[in-house]
């Protein structure tokens, strides 16, 4: 709180400045002024809260100073210093709104007491103003929350709307105009929560100033409602101009989703829900401003991970390569985002399909390497978080599956034979010859053959054949695929040779095995 002393006598103003320890009273002493004219020049800029002035001065009097200063700062507390013969002036001063007066002969403690009373009056005014402002803001926010955001307001009290939402129902409440809700977020300042909150606070204030809208500030977004004029003043072009101005002034980037315009106040909640639905597409949209009517037309994109995509993913997971995994996820998701028909639902289904593929891979490699008993800890249920980009969400999940296998379920460093078995499991339909697998595990083929037989008790070739036949049995049981297609899926080009090998291991031809499986099922 600031105080300014005004007196044309240097001894008086210097004495008042030095005798009392103003800082200990919680007062900031401004440079004393030697005249009313000097004080009036400085008051608009320095804005004192308390003015302590002589009543008689050369030039303008203290009363003239008080009258003009109060016009500049209506809440200013003015204390005048007077002599015994200035009683008539003092009476006039009090009638003109001067807060208090002191005799020039007053002791320092009397001056302190009078100044502290003035300070208390100022603090009381501040508290009352703050409380009124808080109550009005709370009532306004409750009205906005219940009526627009939650749709729970019940019968609409027009007087209440005019009182607390004047931007929508003040003078602009004209027949034929429409109401629209949009949701805004901002980026570009520091990533800390405090900086993000401050940026949104600034955006909220500027939106209200520039658009005459009503808004509700939330943790990560601003919900705003505007009345669209019959002309083009509040058209999309004008809104883009306002957003660009805010971005330029605040050095940030705005993103806004618009709900459907409505004509009746009772339908404002509908405009909010459509804006909210559109806002959820932020991570899927390459635009900074988008409309619900553009989103609702989408029919949905791809929902299932293909067999080839699953094989490519499995190879990366088996390699324990986070960089390659991140690149694969980014390419995979980017293709979906470029599909103009993609929806949140279709993307979520597709991402879940990929997550399921990763979990299937985990089960297969653990079973193939004889470590399925260690799978007590499964990956957590996957959820697509709207607050995080699909790329980040999917990568985090797939990386956790990959690390779960390599760092925990693998029980430390996997042996060369276990690495070979996991690779074979994931590539049964392609080249799983000794040369190829040996390159994968970084061993000479002859050495891999030796360590594989030593660790598993079976030759490399017999193991590969056994795994291929087991996979073929699974396919024949659940799929109507032709025998030639089944042979190709497990790496056999010659159907006749495949049938011979299959009968050698199972005692039945592929057709006989399928018929038995169907009958028993």
Of 3.30.70.360, 3.40.50.2300, 3.40.50.10470, 3.40.50.620, the CATH number of 2-125 is: 3.40.50.2300
Per-residue model confidence (pLDDT) at position 169: 73
Pairwise CA distance, residues 241 & 233, whole Å: 11
* Assigned token pair, 473: 């049995």
What's phi and psi for 412, nearest 5 deg?
90, -155
Alpha-carbon span 183 to 20, nearest angstrom: 55
CATH number of the domain at 155-295, please? 3.30.70.270
Looking at residue 412, its pLDDT comes to 46
- Give the pLDDT score at 157: 61
Q: What confidence score (pLDDT) does residue 377 get?
A: 52
CATH 1.10.260.40 is held by the domain 426-521: no
Q: What is the per-residue pLDDT for 489?
A: 85
Q: pLDDT under 70 in the chain at which residues?
A: 84-97, 129-135, 153-161, 164, 170-176, 229-234, 369-388, 407-414, 521
Q: What is residue 445's predicted lDDT score, i.e. its pLDDT? A: 87
Q: Which residues contact 484 (CB under 8 A, 6 or more apart)?
A: 495
Q: Which of 37, 23, 71, 32 is nearest to 51 (CA)?
A: 32
How many beta carbons lie within 10 A of that of residue 61, not counting itself?
18
pLDDT for 171 equals 57
Give 428-488 as a DSSP string.
TTS---HHHHHHHHTS-HHHHHHHHHHHHSS-HHHHHHHHHHHHHHHHHHH----HHHHHH
pLDDT digits (tens, 9 = 90+) for 221-251: 999 998 886 544 457 788 888 899 888 888 8
Q: What is the pLDDT of residue 232?
A: 41
Please give the pLDDT value at position 376: 55
pLDDT in tens, 330-389: 999 999 988 989 998 899 889 989 988 888 888 877 777 666 655 555 555 556 555 567
State how far the Cα of 13 lies from the Cα of 20, in Å rounded to an integer: 11
Please state the domain extents for the chain: 2-125, 155-295, 426-521
Residue 437: count other Cβ atoms within 10 Å of its Cβ: 24
> Residue 361: what pLDDT?
84
């Amino acid at each position: 709180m600031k105080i300014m002393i005004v007196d044309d006598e240097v001894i008086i103003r210097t004495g008042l400045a030095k005798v009392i320890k103003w800082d200990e009273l919680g007062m900031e002493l401004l440079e004393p002024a030697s005249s009313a004219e000097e004080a009036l020049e400085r008051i608009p800029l320095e804005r004192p809260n308390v003015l302590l002035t002589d009543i008689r001065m050369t030039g303008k009097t203290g009363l003239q100073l008080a009258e003009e200063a109060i016009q500049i700062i209506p809440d200013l507390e003015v204390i005048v210093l007077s002599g015994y013969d200035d009683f008539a002036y003092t009476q006039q001063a009090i009638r003109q709104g001067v807060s208090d007066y002191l005799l020039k002969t007053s002791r320092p403690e009397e001056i302190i007491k009078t100044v502290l009373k003035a300070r208390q009056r100022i603090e009381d005014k501040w508290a009352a103003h703050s409380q009124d402002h808080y109550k009005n803001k709370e009532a306004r926010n409750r009205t906005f929350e219940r009526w627009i955001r939650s749709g729970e307001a019940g019968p609409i009290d027009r007087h209440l709307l005019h009182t607390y939402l004047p931007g929508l129902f003040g003078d602009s409440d004209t027949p034929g105009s429409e109401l629209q809700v949009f949701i805004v977020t901002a980026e570009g300042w520091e990533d800390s929560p405090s900086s993000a909150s401050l940026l949104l606070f600034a955006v909220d204030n500027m939106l209200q100033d520039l658009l005459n809208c009503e808004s509700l500030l939330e943790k990560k977004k601003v919900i705003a409602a505007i009345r669209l004029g019959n002309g083009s003043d509040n058209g999309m072009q004008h809104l883009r101009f306002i957003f660009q101005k805010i971005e330029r002034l605040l050095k940030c980037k705005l993103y806004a989703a618009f709900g459907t315009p409505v004509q009746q106040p009772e339908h404002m909640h509908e405009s909010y829900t459509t804006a909210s639905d559109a806002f959820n597409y932020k991570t899927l949209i390459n635009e900074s401003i988008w409309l619900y009517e553009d989103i609702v037309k989408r029919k949905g994109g791809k929902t299932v991970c293909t067999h080839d995509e699953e094989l490519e993913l499995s190879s990366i997971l088996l390699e324990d390569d986070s960089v390659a995994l991140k690149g694969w996820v980014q390419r995979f998701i980017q293709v979906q985002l470029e599909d103009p028909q993609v929806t949140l639902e279709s993307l979520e289904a597709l991402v879940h399909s990929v997550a399921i593929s990763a979990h299937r891979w985990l089960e297969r490699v653990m079973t193939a390497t004889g470590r399925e008993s260690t799978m007590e800890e499964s990956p957590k249920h996957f959820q697509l978080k709207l607050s995080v980009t699909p790329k980040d969400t999917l990568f985090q999940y797939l990386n956790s599956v990959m690390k779960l296998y390599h760092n925990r379920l693998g029980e430390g460093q996997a042996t060369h034979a276990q690495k070979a078995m996991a690779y074979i499991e994931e590539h049964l339909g392609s080249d799983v010859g000794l040369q190829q697998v040996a390159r994968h595990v970084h061993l000479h083929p002859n050495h891999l053959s030796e360590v594989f037989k030593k660790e598993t008790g079976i030759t490399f070739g017999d193991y590969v054949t056994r795994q291929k036949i087991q996979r073929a049995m699974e396919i024949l049981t659940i799929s109507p695929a032709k025998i030639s297609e089944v042979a190709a899926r497990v790496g056999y080009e010659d159907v006749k040779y495949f049938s011979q090998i299959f009968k050698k291991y199972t005692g039945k031809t592929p057709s006989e095995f399928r018929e038995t499986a169907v009958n028993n099922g």
